[in-house]
C-alpha cells in the first residue's frame, strides 16, 4: 500500500467532481509525505491553476520542472501559469522548453 498514491487517487476523484480545493489539500498532503513525488507537485499546480490560484500554482509547477526537467507537461503547465499571471517572458521561456522537448530534445538547466 502506497499512502502517497492513495492520496493522489482520492484527490483525482475530487478533481473529477470539481472540488479543486479538496483536491489541492490532498495533493499538499502527498507532497508533504514525499517531497520528491513529481505527480503530486504537478497535480497540485494544475489543481490550483484550475481553481484560479495562479500565484499559488507557481511554486508547485516550478518544483515539478525541478524534479523532472525534461517533462513536456510540466513545462507546458508552467507556461500556462505564467501566462495567467501576465509573466510573458517567463511564459515564452517555459513554452520554448516545452517545444524543445516536443521535438525530442533535452532541457539544459
CA nearest to 87, candidates 51, 57, 46: 57
Domain count, the chain: 1
- Residue 81 above 80 pLDDT? yes
Q: Examine residue 108 and state whether it is found in any structural domain, yes or no.
A: no
pLDDT band at 21 (very low <50, low <70, confident <90, very high): very high
pLDDT for the residue 41: 98
For cell 524534479, name the residue.
67
The reported pTM is 0.94
Q: Examine residue 52 and state whether it is found in any structural domain, yes or no.
A: yes
Q: Examine residue 33 and state whether it is found in any structural domain, yes or no.
A: yes
Q: Examine residue 109 and state whether it is found in any structural domain, yes or no.
A: no
pLDDT for the residue 1: 84
Q: Examine residue 13 and state whether it is found in any structural domain, yes or no.
A: yes
Helix residue ranges, H only, 1-109: 3-17, 20-33, 38-50, 54-67, 72-85, 88-102
Cα four-point dihedral sign 60, 63, 67, 70:
positive
- Residue 3 above 90 pLDDT? yes
For cell 499538499, name the residue.
28
pLDDT for the residue 92: 98
Cell numbers linked to 54: 495562479
Q: What is the CATH number for 68? A: 1.25.40.10
- Residue 109 above 80 pLDDT? no
CA dihedral 21, 22, 23, 26 (to 10 degrees): 120
Instruction: Look up the domain containing 78 and give its range.
Output: 3-102
Amino acid at each position: 500500500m502506497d499512502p502517497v498514491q492513495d492520496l493522489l487517487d482520492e484527490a483525482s476523484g475530487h478533481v473529477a467532481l470539481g472540488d479543486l480545493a479538496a483536491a489541492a489539500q490532498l495533493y499538499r498532503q502527498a507532497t508533504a509525505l514525499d517531497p520528491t513525488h513529481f505527480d503530486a507537485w504537478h497535480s497540485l499546480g494544475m489543481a490550483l491553476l484550475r481553481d484560479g490560484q495562479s500565484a499559488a500554482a507557481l511554486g508547485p509547477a516550478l518544483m515539478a520542472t525541478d524534479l523532472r526537467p525534461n517533462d513536456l507537461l510540466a513545462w507546458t503547465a508552467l507556461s500556462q501559469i505564467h501566462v495567467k499571471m501576465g509573466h510573458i517572458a517567463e511564459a515564452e521561456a517555459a513554452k520554448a522548453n516545452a517545444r524543445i522537448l516536443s521535438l525530442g530534445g533535452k532541457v539544459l538547466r
